[in-house]
Structure 1
Amino acid sequence: MNSIIKGFKMLITESSYINEICEECDYTCNTIHFKRNFKNWTSGNDNIDKLIQDTQLSAHDNYDLLNVLEWIPSDRLYNIKYVAGKKMYRANWVDGCMDKWDNENENWKRVNQHMTVDLKSLNNSNNISLEFMNEIRIDYEFYGITQDSKTKAFMMVLNTKCRKCECICNIIHLQRNFVNWTSGNDDIDKFIQFTQLSAHKNTHNVLEWIPFDKFYGIKYIKKMEVYRANWINGYIDEWNNINQNWRRVNQNMIVILKNFNNLENITLEFMNKVKMNYKFYGITQNPETKNYKIVYNCKKCKHVCNAVYFQQNFINWTSGNDVIDKFIQYTQLLTHNDIREALEWIPYDKFYDIKYIEEIEVYKANWINGCIDKWSDKSQSWNRLNQNMTVILKNLNNPENTTLEFMNEVKINYKFYGITQNPETKNYKIVYNCKKCKHVCNAVYFQQNFVNWTSGSNIIDGFIQKTQLSACTHYDLIYALEWIPFDRFYNVKYIAKGGFGKVYRANWIDGYINEWNNETQNWKRNNKNMCVALKSLNNSKNITFEFINEITLHKKGKQHNAFIIGFYGITQDPETKNYVMVLEYAKDGSLRNYLDKRYHELNWENKISYLQDIILGLKGIHEKELIHRDLHIGNVLKLKYNTAIADMGLCKPADYKASENAKNNIYGILSYIAPEILRGQNYTQAADIYSFGIIMYEVIAGLPPYYDLSHDKNLAIKICMGLRPRFNIKVPQLIVSLIKSCLDANPSNRPEVDDIYEMLKYGQYGRTELQEQIKEIEETNKILPTSCISLNLGLSYKTHSEAIYTSRLLNFSDLPKPKNSDDYYEQNDNIISKEFSESLQIDIS
């Protein structure tokens, strides 16, 4: 019975440990894990135990683990060797140092297993203190304390750190290895060590002593009086903490060995002189001749480069014509780091399916090998791409005029691969293809089809063709537009009317282009019969360059930006003759429509996620040095998994001419336009930030800005005087502060898109200050009265008859200078105070 009671007590004790919470952190932090383990170790010395425990009880978060000591049993150390010059021992530590707590394994996760450490005697354990420990840490990483199992002496477990870098940098690892090598010559040893002790941050200029048996395939090159060899190890790249050794690259690389005749001249100046023309790896010695040799390679680019590999192969080919040989060799010797300009001699039997194209007097053929891509260190030969690729063979009528100027002239329009010769006719031929993208690519397939379609407008044809000729890669295809005949759409239904056009929904029979199908010699398409949006642009039948520029802005904004609505191509309404943009379809419509229907279903995570999508879309626009100029919630569409910005740069009519409009004519929705823009100043990216601030308010409040006011000059005056929308719910102060900064009357005080994104991203996940504020206000909002009526999951509110939420031309004069309310930054409970709102004698509560 006693044993049962005892076991029950132990279970209760362990249970209490499991639920133990740190008073400072309010969760089970590192100090709790350390504290639980105190009973499992002791140094046998109270002073040492107390010091170790004090450091552990201070390590609440993972960053503090850097200052933690631990008791390290002597059997966790091996390879213990005395370093006479240092008066310390060196050993390998099996476990390595603590990194963070592993909840799954209920133990510490460790890094740098089997790392090298220094063991230094702790002469007086009675005087050990935090001050003493901090003094040690000036020169060392201090991991813990151990005890010599034989002498019982306590020893500190350390790692020498670089005073310059204040960490264990490259020179520490290199310096520890000094005892393991020698060239047999003091001057050489000192020279190599000097270069190694300068390699704090990188190993670019490090030399090393390389034993001669690390080379193979050694061959004497008489003309250059050097040896060519393969270096088994390759050169040092970076320290590998896992293997506790140097990571090396280019194993079995080709290097040059050159006799070093005057050992006394080996200095830093000598090395720098060598480095002017070569990449210098180290020094070796032939054990038979006792000659020292420097190890280096490529004269031009300071590493084993493409030119070296090409040069090795010169003896293996010839065109039979000295001019052509020299020309090809010249191009190859220029390709140190960039293979794209290299030509090669291509035997004629490497082509098949050779067919003459009479119209353009060339031959079309398939090239078995394909073009050179890069050197393979593994196979010691060229990797090639596009085997059996289609190329063009064109007669080279005057081989004697084959020069670099000739090649550059050809390259203006073609990718030039090399030269071949028909063995029957003896005619030399240049081998080339694709005019634009310099390889057989999507652009070629698009270009072949140009004769089969037209929009009826040279301007639009040119614009579409330009996007297609830029679609070289598979990834680029998403930015290629196409001309889509209107009869490829069905179920065309009217959705809405915008400021300068109408929007329809339709099904697209073909779906969008995915990739080229070599088997069918046609485009493979995805999502047949997909829903798309058709945006008709009024008066676009009278197409202008201004309209094309606006479409260009949409395309430019969409590139590398998943948060701008997709753009597939252009079509034409056969009745009105207006041109129509074919866009990604948003089933839920605009974000405004979605809020009206589903607002009460949304939680804070949803709202912040939508705002993150919008700011990412705007970030992509601003990074391309563009300005949206008409950003409002109606131009933000709710897609299945995210929101996306629409109408990028399409805020003007298709036949709009800037010179015909007065400077003060502004286009947009009044409630989203920054006050400085209302006064006629030029658009800036800060104006987009203001618009985003209004959208933030709208997504969180659920209500359109100033929905109960007339959108007239009086409202424009009040906005310039500091009027901003007010929340009728409690909102986290951090969100309010962010909105206030976005809506600041001074554009220079508004945040950048990156700052906004980081704040929203930081606040969405984890235990953050914003999350805590959200938790508090959610309870408050449950009992607050609301000015809008809930209808299922949506909203019902009465909009003023003169509140206008479609973009239009605005022209206001004599507006006051923009300013913030007097108490704008004095309180953070709302965007503006109720008192200031009432002082403007406008009820927006």
Structure 2
Amino acid sequence: MKEGNDGFVRADQIDLKSLDEQLERHLNRVWTMESNIKKQDQLSSSFGAASATVTPTVIAATSAPPARQRQEWEIDPAKLIIKTVLARGTFGTVHRGVYDGLDVAVKLLDWGEEGHRTEAEIQSLRAAFTQEVAVWHKLDHPNVTKFIGATMGSSGLKLQSEGGPIGMPSNICCVVVEYLPGGALKSYLIKNRRKKLAFKVVVQMALDLARGLSYLHSQKIVHRDVKTENMLLDKTRTVKIADFGVARVEASNPNDMTGETGTLGYMAPEVLNGNPYNRKCDVYSFGICLWEIYCCDMPYPDLSFSEVTSAVVRQNLRPDIPRCCPSSLANVMKRCWDANPDRRPEMDEVVTMIEAIDTSKGGGMIPGDQPQGCLCFRSHRGP
């Protein structure tokens, strides 16, 4: 990791397209190597103890290798109980769990024995992961999912089953965050795609998301994959930003932030085009999310991946804003998804704009099957 001119730690030129992939492919070998070294040290110490003439007190003080100091973000595996599966993905599973009495979500990653990196590359990737996790561990905001901790390559993990606890393989890594019972915002919107959301609910959800992103940007963090699928709801329907798999500490030089990272449909033109970008790519994605929250619909449902990329970059394609959308909200969308990143507002300005919206007169999306429904609303809906 390198430091920018402003003193903030930034990502180096290593392609950190997915933090999960790095963990799964490379870091387990480091821990296996360390474990083997410790075993060799212990064997050497035991052999030395059998042939040495020094006193037992000296042997006790010198034979055992020093214990590795636990990082502040590392959890105690003995306090974690892993329960039912919540979701399955390409690189692991997400479970419900309990950590030290708290309800948590646990992402399990099996690093396996993949990859053939050099020791230097592995150590560099491990250092990058440690740096990023240390940053996330210190984040504290009501609209950001609380990161509780992580552990890498521990033999103390237990999976709770009907027959009792089951020990997990030592190459399993886990990331522990607060458990949010409301599920993904995207799922909530899909459930409401016919009846829509009240305008007050739309504005409150938008405000939650805007405040969370404003906080991340104040901490020099660029999320890079802002979409409703990566936003979770707590029991009071508060929106919290989650899934920091491709997030980066913002580089002071925009040329160091390149590559098509994110999800198609939410990605800013400069990202799609492979140009340098900064935190304003999150602002663009927020504009798409705001449209989605208002409409309870998907952007560009009838276009292929290649068509979306071409149209967004070359034809300035954006989702159609319904005529029933209040101008105050539509203005926020348009400013956020401006093709020129410099013309997009900062997220703290977006927060101010949304706070100023008057929700007392309604203005929520009207279902198309009602007589007074919006005429520009499509008849075929949903994902």
The normalised TM-score by structure 1 is: 0.31
Partner Cα separation in structure 1 for residue 202 and residue 364 of structure 2: 15
* TM-superposed deviation, 1:652: 7.5
What do the CA deviations read for 1:412-469 (whole angstroms, capped 9, x no partner)? xxxxxxxxxxxxxxxxxxxxxxxxxxxxxxxxxxxxxxxxxxx9898xx97953x3xx
CA distance in 1, matches of 2:301, 2:68: 44
Give the one of 536, 541, 545 matched to 2:108: 536
2:144 aligns to what?
A: 564
Paired residue type of 1:536:
L
For 1:678, the equivalent position in structure 2 comes to 272
Q: Does 1:493 find its partner at 2:82?
A: no
Count of residue pairs brought into register by the alignment:
285
Correspondence for 2:219 among 613, 624, 630? 624
SS in 2 for 1:568: strand
Distance apart, 1:708 and its partner CA: 2.4
Which of the two has greater strand per residue? 1
Letter in 2 for 1:549: Q
Q: Secondary structure at the match of 1:706?
A: coil
Q: Alignment partner of 1:483: what SS?
A: coil
The residue number in structure 2 matching 1:747 is 341
- Give the Cα–Cα distance (whole angstroms) in 1 for the partners of residues 293 and 374 of structure 2: 18
Residue pair 1:590, 1:636 contacting (<8 A) in 2 also = yes
* Post-superposition offset of 1:487: 7.6
**CA contact 1:732–1:777 (8 Å) conserved in 2:** no
CA positional deviation for 1:739: 0.4
User: CA–CA distance in 2 between the matches of 1:715 and 1:493?
Assistant: 34
Q: Does the Cα contact within 8 Å between 2:80 and 2:98 map onto a contact in 1? A: yes
Contact 1:632–1:672, Cα closer than 8 Å, also in 2 = yes
Deviation at 1:607, TM superposition (A): 1.2
Q: State the alpha-carbon separation in 1 of the partners of residues 364 and 257 from structure 2.
A: 48
Residue in 2 that maps onto 1:483: 75
| AA at the equivalent of 2:106 | L
The offset of 1:727, in angstroms, is 3.4
Could you say which residue in structure 2 is the equivalent of 1:579?
A: 173
Residues 482 and 504 from structure 1, CA distance in 2 versus in 1: closer, same or farther, beyond 3 angstroms? same
- Kindly indicate whether the alpha-carbon contact (under 8 Å) linking 2:107 and 2:176 is maintained by their aligned counterparts in 1: yes
**Relative to 1, partners in 2 of residues 1:457 and 1:537: Cα closer, same or farther, differing over 3 Å?**
farther
Change (3 A) 1:535 1:604: same
- Aligned partner of 2:363 in structure 1 is 774
CA distance in 2, matches of 1:635, 1:463: 33
- Is 1:627–1:684's contact at 8 Å kept on the other side of the alignment? yes
SS of corresponding position for 2:222: coil
For residues 550 and 495 of structure 1, do their structure 2 counterparts lie closer, same or farther at Cα, with a shift above 3 Å needed?
same
Runs of 4+ aligned residues of structure 1 deviating over 6 Å after TM superposition are 455-458, 540-543, 775-781
Q: Does 1:593 align with 2:165?
A: no
Distance 1:711 1:745 in 2: 19
Residue pairs, 1:708-723, within 5 angstroms:
708-712=302-306, 714-720=307-313, 721-723=315-317
Kept in 2: contact 1:591–1:633 (CA 8 A): yes
CA distance in 2, matches of 1:775, 1:598: 12
Unaligned runs of 5+ in 2: 1-30, 35-66, 114-121, 158-167, 249-255
- Which of structures 1 and 2 has the larger relative contact order (alpha carbons within 8 angstroms, sep 6+)? 2
CA distances 1:580-638 after superposition (whole Å, capped 9, x unpaired): 10111122221001111245363111111111111111111111122111211111111
Between the aligned partners of 2:143 and 2:332, the Cα distance in structure 1 is 21
> Which residue pairs with 1:604 in the alignment?
199
Task: Give me the whole-angstrom Cα distance separating, in 1, the residues matched to 2:92 and 2:228.
Answer: 18
Report Cα offsets for 1:469-505 as digits up to 9, x if no partner: xxxxxxxxxxxx34232783142314132xx633422
1:615 aligns with 2:210: yes
Q: Does 1:547 align with 2:129?
A: yes
Change (3 A) 1:549 1:707: farther
CA contact (8 A) 1:503 1:533 kept: no
Given the superposition, is the C-alpha separation of residues 682 and 504 from structure 1 closer, same or farther in structure 2, using an over 3 Å criterion? same
Deviation at 1:683, TM superposition (A): 2.8
Tell me what 2:61 maps to.
none
Alignment of structure 1 residues 198-597 onto 2, 5 Å = 465=71, 467=72, 481-485=73-77, 488-497=80-89, 501-508=91-98, 510-511=100-101, 527=102, 530=103, 532-537=104-109, 539=111, 544-556=126-138, 558-559=139-140, 561-571=141-151, 572=154, 574-575=168-169, 577-597=171-191
Asked which structure has the greater CA Rg, the reply is 1
Instruction: Sort the Cα spacing of 1:462 and 1:677 in 2 relative to 1 into closer, same or farther, 3 A.
Output: farther
**Is the Cα–Cα contact under 8 Å of residues 612 and 757 in structure 1 kept in the other structure?**
yes
Q: Secondary structure at the match of 1:672?
A: coil
Q: How does 1:178-197 map to 2 (within 5 A)?
A: none
The 2-side partners of 1:776 and 1:593 are apart by: 18
Given that 1:505 and 1:585 are in contact with CA atoms closer than 8 Å, whether structure 2 keeps it comes out as no
After TM superposition, give the deviation of residue 737 of structure 1 in Å. 1.2
Residues 484 and 788 of structure 1: is their aligned pair in 2 closer, same or farther, counting only changes over 3 Å? Answer: farther
Matched residue, 2:260: 666
Q: CA deviation at 1:686?
A: 1.0
State which drifts further: 673-682 or 734-743.
Answer: 673-682
CA separation of 1:601 and 1:564: change in aligned 2, threshold 3 A: same
Deviation of residue 567 (structure 1)? Answer: 1.3
Cα distance, 1:758 vs. partner? 1.1
Whole-Å separation in 1 of the counterparts to 2:33 and 2:226:
30
Q: What is the CA distance between 1:754 and its match in structure 2?
A: 1.6
User: Structure 1's 788 and 639: CA in aligned 2 closer, same or farther, altered over 3 A?
Assistant: farther
| Cα distance between partner residues in 2 of 1:632 and 1:746 | 20
Cα gap change, 1:703 to 1:562, in 2 (>3 Å): same
**1:486/1:674 CA distance change after superposition, 3 Å:** farther
- The amino acid of 1:507's aligned partner reads G
Asked whether the 8 Å contact 1:672–1:694 carries over to 2, the reply is: yes
Aligned to 1:687: 281
Contact 1:627 1:683 in 2 (8 A): no
**CA displacement 1:699-735 (0-9 Å, x = unmatched):** 11111222222112x3211101200011356201111
User: Which of 208, 225, 229 is the matching residue for 1:634?
Assistant: 229
Give the letter aligned to residue 723 of structure 1.
Answer: L
User: Would the aligned equivalents of 1:570 and 1:582 in 2 still touch at CA under 8 Å?
Assistant: yes
Shift of residue 664 of structure 1? 6.2
Q: For the residues of structure 1 that align with 2:135 and 2:185, how far apart are their CA atoms?
A: 22
Aligned equivalents of 1:462 and 1:674: distance in 2?
43
The letter for the 1-side match of 2:127 is F
Instruction: Give the deviation of 1:736 after TM superposition.
Output: 0.9
Which residue of structure 1 lines up, in the alignment, with residue 239 of structure 2? Answer: 643
Displacement after TM superposition at 1:773 (Å): 7.2
Once the two structures are TM-superposed, the CA of residue 782 in structure 1 deviates from its matched residue by 4.0
Distance 1:750 1:575, change over 3 A: same
Structure 2 letter corresponding to 1:569: G
Equivalent position SS for 2:305: coil
Counterpart contact for 2:184–2:230, Cα < 8 Å: yes
Change (3 A) 1:778 1:702: closer
CA contact (8 A) 1:554 1:647 kept: no
Q: Rate the CA distance shift 1:509–1:755 in 2: closer, same or farther, 3 A.
A: closer
What is the match of residue 58 of structure 2?
none
CA contact (8 A) 2:283 2:336 kept: yes
Mapped to 1, the partners of 2:229 and 2:150 lie a distance apart of 22
Output the amino acid matched with 1:644.
Answer: K
Please give the secondary structure, in 1, of the residue aligned with 2:94. Answer: strand
Give the TM-score normalised by structure 2: 0.65
Tell me the distance in 2 between the aligned counterparts of 1:579 and 1:772. Answer: 50
Over the aligned positions, Cα root-mean-square deviation in angstroms equals 3.4
User: Cα 1:540–1:592, aligned 2, differ >3 Å: closer, same or farther?
Assistant: farther
**Residues 228-268 of structure 1: CA deviation (Å, up to 9, x unaligned):** xxxxxxxxxxxxxxxxxxxxxxxxxxxxxxxxxxxxxxxxx
Aligned to 1:787: 378
Contact 2:180 2:233 in 1 (8 A): yes
Q: Match for 1:489: what amino acid? A: I
CA contact (8 A) 2:259 2:271 kept: no
Give 1:777 shift.
7.5
- Give the letter aligned to residue 734 of structure 1: S
Alpha-carbon shift at residue 760 of structure 1 (Å): 1.2
